[in-house]
Amino acid sequence: MSKLAEFEGFFNPKSVAFYGASNIMQKFGSIHLTNLLSAGFQGKVIPIHPKEEEILGFKAYKNIKDIPEQVDLAVLAINPQLINIILEDCGQKGVKHVIILSGGFLEVGNKEAQDKMKKIAEKYDIKIMGPNCSGEVVTPNVNITHVPWPPRKGGVSIVSQSGTYAVQPLIAINSKIGLGISKIISVGNEVNTDLVDYLEVFEEDDETTSIGIYFEAVRRGKEFIELLDRINQKKPIVIIPIGQTEAGTRSAKSHTAAITSPGYVIDSVCEQTGVIKVKNSIDMLNLLNAFDSLPLPKGNRVAILTMGGGPGTLMSDLFENNGMQVPMLSKELQMKLKPWMPETASTINPIDLTYSDDMQNFLNVLPEILLKSDEIDSLIFYGLMGTEYFKRLVNVPDFMREHESVVTMKNFGDMMEDFFVALFDEIIEYKEKYQKPIILTCYNTREEKFVAYLQDHGIPVYYPEEGVWTLIRMWQYAKFLKTKNK
């Protein structure tokens, strides 16, 4: 049986039993149950409760063994002293997949209870996610976490040895990054499924196209390195090593019982396998978003199309200090750009259109001229204030609201929202037509309709420096593949 098939009960359960859910909504188990429903889960939800006949509108059972039908997955958010008793019941019922959210085991020195848990799981052939984990997300309709922001479906899968980093970034994914997710797994204490298991799952999974790892420690080092080396040649892997200092090691031991490795070890592993190491969660999510959305650059030459001189200069410095080129465009290409630009604009690269108000040239005409050219491999934009800008411009005192100029500006802002979206349809087509990465940068979030529209259609939108670093790392990965395949 394939690894993916072995873990099917986690990823595609038809029935989920909940321990710890009650008629008090703020209870941890209740939150996980309602978040599963909010994500659109279509299977059967079965609360288990020692006293209640009904939980949140669902028939409740006193014991999982009383349920007449098969249970694919059990979720346990209860007193740790009861966990092994309940796990025995789950085994007798024939449940093969269990998520244990409860802590109180090896991470607090309770080795005896965790060892017993492992023995019960072996006895009944149960696979456990956890204990002491934050659950899982499987798009489009499974969210067994405490964070009520289920992401859109996409090709990114993340495995995390930190429960917080597994699920709380869902807030940023929803509000800023727009990342498409396949699976997110919080492994917790890894009692009998671990980081290596989930990487093997992601390797087999056709729905996973890129992989993120929040890494503290590994219990099967040889298999881990071999997997990274093999998978990273097909699906890019981004890793954040945490708990690599003395203080970090103490923290890791206290929350997942992890025994960490020195930082230089993971540096060596990344150098050997080509896995990309980043320093923070936003860098990871941004890069995974780009890998999921964009073709890899075929070379290191980038065109910068900017509505501001400062951002264009900053981008140029970052690119050229990190192995990419912002080449001066040929006179022939500059002559093709010039008719579509103000007389004061620079055509040399960065292409600076500061104060230009012709959005169609900025977003459609000039990009296509650049992308058609064999002088550049990637295109990055800076600009656009968004319709929120116009809304704030007309946030005026009541006595001004009906003034003709204010009404005109408000109507213009409303019109620009739909106008931007129409222009961006061309950009989205260019990405496929020319097979070159296109990144737009600005300081807006998904509150802006155009940002959400672009992100949901495969054009990443970042803050300026984020966009630059994302493209640099994409080139580093593309260069690694070229070297590996020689």
User: Which one of 262, 290, 318 terminates a domain?
Assistant: 290
pLDDT by residue (tens digit) across 341-383?
Answer: 988 888 999 999 886 678 888 889 999 999 999 999 999 999 8
Say whether both 321 and 447 belong to one domain.
Answer: yes
Say whether both 259 and 313 belong to one domain.
Answer: no
pLDDT band at 261 (very low <50, low <70, confident <90, very high): low
Say whether both 73 and 192 belong to one domain.
Answer: yes
Say whether both 349 and 326 belong to one domain.
Answer: yes
Mean pLDDT on 216-231: 93
Say whether both 276 and 371 belong to one domain.
Answer: no
Say whether both 276 and 308 belong to one domain.
Answer: no
Say whether both 53 and 107 belong to one domain.
Answer: yes
Say whether both 233 and 318 belong to one domain.
Answer: no
pLDDT at residue number 29: 94
pLDDT by residue (tens digit) across 150-201?
Answer: 999 999 999 999 999 999 999 999 999 999 999 999 999 999 999 999 999 9
User: What is the domain extent for residue 60?
Assistant: 3-290
Nearest to 320 by CA among 467, 441, 472, 460: 472
pLDDT value at 478 more than 80:
yes
pLDDT band at 256 (very low <50, low <70, confident <90, very high): very low
pLDDT by residue (tens digit) across 17-32?
Answer: 999 999 999 999 999 9
Number of compact structural domains in the chain: 2
Q: How far apart are the C-alpha atoms of 274 and 53, rounded to whole Å?
A: 55
User: Which one of 290, 320, 340 terminates a domain?
Assistant: 290
Percentage of the chain beyond pLDDT 70 is 95
Say whether both 204 and 302 belong to one domain.
Answer: no
Mean pLDDT on 288-300: 97
Mean pLDDT on 222-239: 96
Say whether both 359 and 423 belong to one domain.
Answer: yes
Say whether both 357 and 226 belong to one domain.
Answer: no
pLDDT at residue number 229: 96
pTM for this predicted structure: 0.92
Say whether both 233 and 359 belong to one domain.
Answer: no
Q: What is the CATH number of the domain that holds 438?
A: 3.40.50.261
pLDDT at residue number 175: 92
Nearest to 210 by CA among 123, 289, 115: 289
User: Which one of 257, 290, 323 terminates a domain?
Assistant: 290
